[in-house]
Structure 1
Amino acid sequence: MSSDRDQDVIDAVYGVLPTTLDDLRDLVAIPSVSSQAEHAGDVVRVADTLVGLVKLIGWDDVRVIEAGGKPAVLAHWPAPEGKPTVCLYSHYDVQPTGDRDLWSTEPFVAVERDGRLYGRGTADDKGGVAVHLAAVRAFGGKPPVGVTLLLEGEEEIGSPSLDALLKANQDELEADAYVIADCGNWEVGQPAFTTSLRGVADCIVEVRTLTHPVHSGEYGGVVPDALTALCRLLATLHDDKGNVAIEGLVSGHAAEQLDYPEERLRAETGLLPGVQFIGDDSAVDRMWAKPSVSVIGLDTTPIKISSNVLIPAARARISLRIAPGDTTQNAVEKLVAHLESHVPWGARVSCSNAEAGAPSIVPFEGPIAEQAKQAFTRAWGVEPVLTGTGGSIGMISSFQEAFPEATVLCTAVADPDCRMHGIDESLHLGDWRKAAVSEALLLDRLAR
Structure 2
Amino acid sequence: MTAPLSDEAIAAGAAELMPSLVDQVVRLSRIPSVATTGFPAEPLLEAHALVVDELRAAGVEHVEELLLDGMTAPTVLADVPGPPGAPTVLMYTHYDVVPAGDEALWSSPPFEPQVGADRVVGRGVADSKANIAAMTGALRLYGGKPPVTLRFVLEGHEEFGSVFEEHPQQSPQTYAADAIVIADVGSVRPGQPTLTIGLRGSVTVTVEARTLASDKHSGQFGGAAPDARTALVRALASLHDEHGALVVPGLRREPWTGTAYTDDEFRELAEVLPGVPLVGDGDLGSRIWSGPAVTIIGFDAPPTSAPLNAVASSAKAVLNLRVHPAQPALEAGEALAAYLRAQTPFGITLDVTVGEAGNGILTPTGGPAFRAAERALATAWGAPAGTMALGGSIPIVMAFHEAQPAAEKILFGASDGYSNMHGPDERLLLDELRRTVVAMATFWRELASTERD
- What's the CA shift string for 1:167-226, capped at 9, x where partnerless? 344223211211111223121101111122211223454545455544332332233444
Amino acid at match of 2:332: A
| Aligned alpha-carbon RMSD (Å) | 2.8
Mean alpha-carbon deviation: is it higher for 227-236 or for 201-210? Answer: 201-210
Contact map agreement 2:323 2:329 (CA 8 A) in 1 = yes
TM-superposed deviation, 1:23: 2.5
Amino acid at match of 1:144: P
Aligned to 1:377: 378
- What SS does the aligned partner of 1:275 have? coil
Contact map agreement 2:229 2:312 (CA 8 A) in 1 = yes
1:431-446 matches, within 5 Å, as: 431-446=432-447
Aligned to 1:79: 82
Contact map agreement 1:13 1:440 (CA 8 A) in 2 = no
Matched, 1:304 2:301: no
TM-superposed deviation, 1:372: 2.1
- What's the CA shift string for 1:332-389, capped at 9, x where partnerless? 2223333444363536645463x53311111222333332222222211112112233
Mean alpha-carbon deviation: is it higher for 168-177 or for 36-45? Answer: 36-45
Contact map agreement 2:4 2:445 (CA 8 A) in 1 = no
Amino acid at match of 1:337: A
Distance in 2 (CA, whole Å) between partners of 1:29 and 1:296 is 32
Amino acid at match of 2:87: P
Aligned to 2:244: 242
- From the superposition, tell whether residues 24 and 311 of structure 1 become closer, same or farther in structure 2 (CA, over 3 Å): farther
- From the superposition, tell whether residues 101 and 302 of structure 1 become closer, same or farther in structure 2 (CA, over 3 Å): farther
- What SS does the aligned partner of 1:156 have? coil
Amino acid at match of 2:153: L
Amino acid at match of 1:277: L
Contact map agreement 2:199 2:362 (CA 8 A) in 1 = yes
TM-superposed deviation, 1:30: 2.9
Aligned to 1:430: 431
Contact map agreement 2:10 2:441 (CA 8 A) in 1 = yes
- From the superposition, tell whether residues 154 and 6 of structure 1 become closer, same or farther in structure 2 (CA, over 3 Å): same
Aligned to 1:127: 130
- From the superposition, tell whether residues 20 and 374 of structure 1 become closer, same or farther in structure 2 (CA, over 3 Å): same
Distance in 2 (CA, whole Å) between partners of 1:150 and 1:101 is 34
TM-superposed deviation, 1:275: 1.4
Matched, 1:190 2:219: no
- From the superposition, tell whether residues 317 and 121 of structure 1 become closer, same or farther in structure 2 (CA, over 3 Å): farther
Aligned to 2:271: 270
TM-superposed deviation, 1:255: 4.1
Distance in 2 (CA, whole Å) between partners of 1:61 and 1:75 is 6
- From the superposition, tell whether residues 259 and 192 of structure 1 become closer, same or farther in structure 2 (CA, over 3 Å): closer
Matched, 1:178 2:195: no
- What's the CA shift string for 1:212-252, capped at 9, x where partnerless? 54433233223344443333232222222212222222222
Contact map agreement 1:67 1:164 (CA 8 A) in 2 = no
Calculate the TM-score normalised by the size of structure 2. Answer: 0.87
Amino acid at match of 2:158: E
Aligned to 1:388: 389
Aligned to 1:59: 60
- What SS does the aligned partner of 1:396 have? helix
- What SS does the aligned partner of 1:222 have? coil
Contact map agreement 2:82 2:145 (CA 8 A) in 1 = no
Contact map agreement 2:4 2:147 (CA 8 A) in 1 = no
Contact map agreement 1:13 1:137 (CA 8 A) in 2 = no
Distance in 2 (CA, whole Å) between partners of 1:312 and 1:101 is 40
- From the superposition, tell whether residues 178 and 106 of structure 1 become closer, same or farther in structure 2 (CA, over 3 Å): same
Contact map agreement 2:188 2:416 (CA 8 A) in 1 = yes
TM-superposed deviation, 1:411: 0.8
Mean alpha-carbon deviation: is it higher for 80-89 or for 237-246? Answer: 237-246
TM-superposed deviation, 1:134: 1.7
- What's the CA shift string for 1:15-36, capped at 9, x where partnerless? 3332232222233233333454
Distance in 2 (CA, whole Å) between partners of 1:91 and 1:205 is 35
In the alignment of these two chains, the number of paired residues is: 444
Distance in 2 (CA, whole Å) between partners of 1:143 and 1:61 is 14
Aligned to 1:322: 323
Aligned to 1:92: 95
Amino acid at match of 1:176: D
Could you tell me which runs of 5 or more consecutive residues in structure 2 were left unpaired when the two chains were aligned: none
- What SS does the aligned partner of 1:132 have? helix
Mean alpha-carbon deviation: is it higher for 201-210 or for 235-244? Answer: 201-210
TM-superposed deviation, 1:77: 0.9
- From the superposition, tell whether residues 348 and 259 of structure 1 become closer, same or farther in structure 2 (CA, over 3 Å): closer
Could you tell me which runs of 5 or more consecutive residues in structure 1 were left unpaired when the two chains were aligned: none
Aligned to 2:9: 8
Matched, 1:137 2:147: no
Aligned to 1:111: 114
Contact map agreement 1:364 1:409 (CA 8 A) in 2 = no
Equivalent residue in structure 1 for 2:157, among 128, 148, 154: 154
Mean alpha-carbon deviation: is it higher for 426-435 or for 17-26? Answer: 17-26
